[in-house]
A = this chain, B = another copy of it.
């Protein structure tokens, strides 16, 4: 299968290249860019020297439909809302890594993203797929909307409780922490090394655009209340941890809680539930497509704590996009994604 990557010079693009260049079923056919056409990819990313001798091409939907079997959109949020419809109209199969088609409600998009939403008819065509929770409608569809990084970690952490319908309404608080690569190659004072190194920051307090995405999915699973969700920048390049707090209706023991999670993810290759009393660290999933989960139940307070970790560029972006592509084309879901985390 021939793959095209739009936005190849971003970190999501780099990660797609890293995965796909050794994928057994996909072949990188072309890299696309809106601004750097004609440049060799290894001039922007010297680490790709000798690995993928491609030149960045301009975006031309008709040509792209001919040259590729699937196109990954790894562009900044806001760009896809216009570009995806053009590509789809031209006949491309599109997997969109941006936030532009995740929210079914355009008002939510415009409130949280503070920009104009994509056309409603196209939003309706997009299949939002966090495979472990809703992979069924992916196969054979033309247009996949890939989940956000924080929502992936948070929703995989919450799903067993939400789907069991035992989460007490109003009890969910998600304290999320991310490495810096989530900000991509944004050139701004807030993104420079000396401002972030040896520093821990909270940002977008009560205002992160991933809130409505998490709430939309929770609602589908039966949890109706708005959530509290705060995000922090941790001085490391990769990794997301969500520390999730909640309370259940009735009582649950730590054993029962663990069994619930264990059973829920028993057949999922990419979700690993730690043993009782053991909690995952972000490095234990670095460079891989895993989401690792630890659970605790505090008898003193009756409160549950769920810890989930992912590599934000992998399960939180490029890895999950390839997982969706595998499903879409009927390949083994973990094809090309079974490599081990890198440790240390």
B235 touches A234 (CB 8 A): yes
A195 surroundings in chain B (CB, below 8 A)? 185, 193, 344
Which of the candidate stretches A16-24, A93-101, A320-328 sits at the interface with the other chain?
Answer: A16-24
B-contacting residues, A275-313, CB 8 Å: 277-288, 292, 294, 296, 298, 300-301, 303, 305, 307, 309
Query: Interface SS of chain A: helix, strand, loop or mixed?
Result: loop
B340 touches A18 (CB 8 A): yes
Q: Using A226-B300, A344-B237 as known contacts, say yes or no to A185 and B180 having CB atoms under 8 A apart.
A: no
Q: Does A122 interact with chain B (Cβ within 8 Å)? A: no
B230 touches A282 (CB 8 A): no
Which of the candidate stretches A156-164, A170-178, A256-264 sits at the interface with the other chain?
Answer: A170-178
Tell me, rounded to whole Å, the shortest Cβ–Cβ distance linking A257 to chain B.
Answer: 13
A49 to B, closest residue via Cβ: B272
A200–B272 Cα distance when bound, in Å, is 17
Which of the candidate stretches A62-70, A80-88, A201-209 sits at the interface with the other chain?
Answer: A201-209
A202 surroundings in chain B (CB, below 8 A)? 241, 243, 279, 281, 294, 307
Number of copies: 4
0/1 string, A185-213, CB within 8 A of B gives 1: 11111011111111111110110000000
A241 to B, closest residue via Cβ: B200
Q: Does A119 interact with chain B (Cβ within 8 Å)? A: no
Q: Does A216 interact with chain B (Cβ within 8 Å)? A: no
Chain A, interface residues (CB within 8 Å), range: 35 or more
Q: Does A54 interact with chain B (Cβ within 8 Å)? A: no
Choose one: B47, B179, B269, B339; the contact of A50 (CB below 8 Å). B269
Q: Does A338 interact with chain B (Cβ within 8 Å)? A: yes
A181 surroundings in chain B (CB, below 8 A)? 194, 344
Q: Does A232 interact with chain B (Cβ within 8 Å)? A: yes
Tell me, rounded to whole Å, the shortest Cβ–Cβ distance linking A178 to chain B.
Answer: 9
0/1 string, A37-54, CB within 8 A of B gives 1: 000000001111111100
A193 touches B237 (CB 8 A): yes
A183–B325 Cα distance when bound, in Å, is 40
Q: Does A11 interact with chain B (Cβ within 8 Å)? A: yes
A199 touches B301 (CB 8 A): no
A45–B340 Cα distance when bound, in Å, is 11
Q: Does A151 interact with chain B (Cβ within 8 Å)? A: no
A47 touches B340 (CB 8 A): yes
A36 surroundings in chain B (CB, below 8 A)? none
Q: Using A50-B269, A173-B245, A177-B200 as known contacts, say yes or no to A194 and B284 having CB atoms under 8 A apart.
A: no
Choose one: B237, B239, B284; the contact of A47 (CB below 8 Å). B284
Q: Does A102 interact with chain B (Cβ within 8 Å)? A: no
A187 touches B188 (CB 8 A): yes
A272–B187 Cα distance when bound, in Å, is 29
Q: Using A192-B187, A269-B50, A305-B230 as known contacts, say yes or no to A175 and B285 having CB atoms under 8 A apart.
A: no
Closest 9 CB pairs of A and B: A199-B283, A175-B175, A47-B284, A47-B341, A194-B344, A201-B281, A18-B340, A206-B298, A180-B193
Residues of A in contact with B (beta carbons under 8 Å apart) = 11, 14, 17-18, 21-22, 45-52, 170, 173, 175, 177, 179-181, 183-189, 191-203, 205-206, 225-228, 230, 232, 234-239, 241, 243, 245, 269, 272, 274, 277-288, 292, 294, 296, 298, 300-301, 303, 305, 307, 309, 338-344
